[in-house]
Amino acid sequence: MSDVINLAKELMRRRSVTPDDAGCQHVISERLAKVGFNNEPMFFVDTLNTWSRRNNQPPNVCFAGHTDVVPTGDESQWQFPPFAATEHDGYLHGRGAADMKGSLAAMVVATERFVKKHPNHKGSISFLITSDEEGPFINGTTRVIDTLQARNEQIDMCIVGEPSSTNKLADVVKNGRRGSLTAFLTVKGKQGHVAYPHLADNPVHRATGFLDALCAEKWDEGNAYFPATSMQISNINAGTGAGNVIPGDLEVQFNFRYSTEVTAPQLQQRVVQLLQQHQLPYELSWVHNGEPFITEPGELIDAVQQAIHSQLGYQAELQTSGGTSDGRFIAPTGAKVVELGPRNATIHQVNECVSCADLDNLALIYEGILERLLT
């Protein structure tokens, strides 16, 4: 039996719906302690995090991941019970199989193998594990990073186990992510009867020109690493539900996924300018979910590419597409960050699953990365 699959099953059988860790980090910490790691639990409000480290010398190569999973939805729709960790036809089925208990199992087993082969390896290996990645992400990785920075403890290189692969294992490695900025806009009007529009002020009518301009705006051209910044309106709400009432307010939520060619304050300023050009009375607030980051080719990228090619015989494509990850909290410290994990085809879906062979190969790739960086 595969050590990777056995550990993945043990983690997947724990119902760790965010932010509940359900004992997963204890299982991992016990394994790491046996190969010389010092484990430091960090609990913030409702979230358990664990910082584990072996040695104190640079470079510090960190594996980062999360034990929490998203809710299952209607469990009767699953082919196999979502927390049974069922192995069937070469696949491991269950919530967290791909996102990302499978990656955590591969990281732990890879590290155990590496340390047994190289007990006196150079540098340090660390694990940063949270149970807050799928939730509000305020008491997880970001709080651990704050704690490490306060005591001048540095991560030099980091592999995040998010499911980066698309069509086959390790065909894509994320070497950066776009920034994310969300706007909450209320356009103010005056409620009234639809038959007496002169006594009201319809904010929907007022805002159409602004919304057209917002959608037509070109925010930047992108660059060699990032596509052009995109804006998407995600929610619009107005009215009371009655067909004869002019709404008093229009609420609009929109999100930017932005490149390194523009900053969050610049985007905010340009939105305000558009609002002013269209002479709208408004209220506006923002939530900044993360800065963009990029890891350019160098020691970490080389080690990752070589380990993938050695194990699988092909080169991974470097991409910055997709959503955000906890890498956005780690990269601003100066760490080089990549995301490398299994295929993302079934993440957050009913019947989430992962190839058992892929998890075994992923562990060998992780081990190969350590070989190249710390021997």
pLDDT band at 137 (very low <50, low <70, confident <90, very high): confident
pLDDT tens-digit profile of 332-373?
Answer: 999 999 999 999 999 999 999 999 999 999 999 999 999 999
133 in catalytic set: yes
Q: Are 63 and 107 in contact (CB under 8 A)?
A: yes
Fold: same for 3-177+292-374 and 179-290: no
- CB count within 10 Å of CB 213 equals 13
High-pLDDT (> 70) share of the chain, %: 100
- pLDDT above 90: residue 248: yes
What are the binding residues for Zn(2+)?
Answer: 66, 99, 134, 162, 348
pLDDT at 113: 98
Fold of 179-290: Alpha-Beta Plaits (3.30.70)
> Residues comprising the binding site?
66, 99, 134, 162, 348
Phi-psi category of residue 95: left, alpha or beta, with phi > 0 → left and psi -120 to 50 → alpha: beta
Cα 295–chain centre separation: 16
Q: Measured between alpha carbons, how far is 54 from 27 in angstroms, rounded to an integer?
A: 17
The domain over range 3-177+292-374 is classified in CATH as 3.40.50.720? no
pLDDT bin (cut points 50, 70, 90) of residue 259 is: very high
Average pLDDT, the chain: 97
What percent of the chain is helix, strand and coil (3-state, nearest 5)? 35, 30, 40
DSSP state of 275: H
129, 160 Cβ separation under 8 angstroms? no
Report pLDDT for 249. Answer: 98
Residues 211-232 have pLDDT tens digits of 999 999 999 999 999 999 999 9
What is the mean predicted confidence (pLDDT) over 256-285? 97
- What is the SS3 assignment for 220-272? CCCCCCCCCCEEEEEEEEECCCCCCEECCEEEEEEEEEECCCCCHHHHHHHHH
**Res 321: pLDDT:** 86
pLDDT number for residue 324: 83
Neighbouring C-alpha atoms within 13 Å toward the C-beta of 124: 21
Note the pLDDT tens digit of each residue in 149-169: 999 999 999 999 999 999 999
Which member of 20, 132, 133, 352 is catalytic?
Answer: 133
- Burial profile 89-126: b = 16 or more Cβ within 10 angstroms, e = fewer: eebbbbbbbbbbbbbbbbbbbbbbbbbeeeeebebbbb
Task: Note the pLDDT tens digit of each residue in 26-70.
Answer: 999 999 999 999 999 999 999 999 999 999 999 999 999 999 999
Q: Which pLDDT does position 171 carry in this prediction? A: 98
Q: What is the pLDDT of residue 154?
A: 97
Q: Do 338 and 159 touch, CB atoms closer than 8 A?
A: yes
User: In DSSP terms, which residues pair with 230 in a beta bridge?
Assistant: 257
Radius of gyration of the chain, Cα coordinates, nearest whole angstrom: 24
- Listed by start position, the domains of the chain span 3-177+292-374, 179-290
For the record, the structure tokens of 148 come out as 């490490």
Model pLDDT, residue 155: 98
User: Is residue 302's pLDDT more than 90?
Assistant: yes
pLDDT number for residue 374: 98
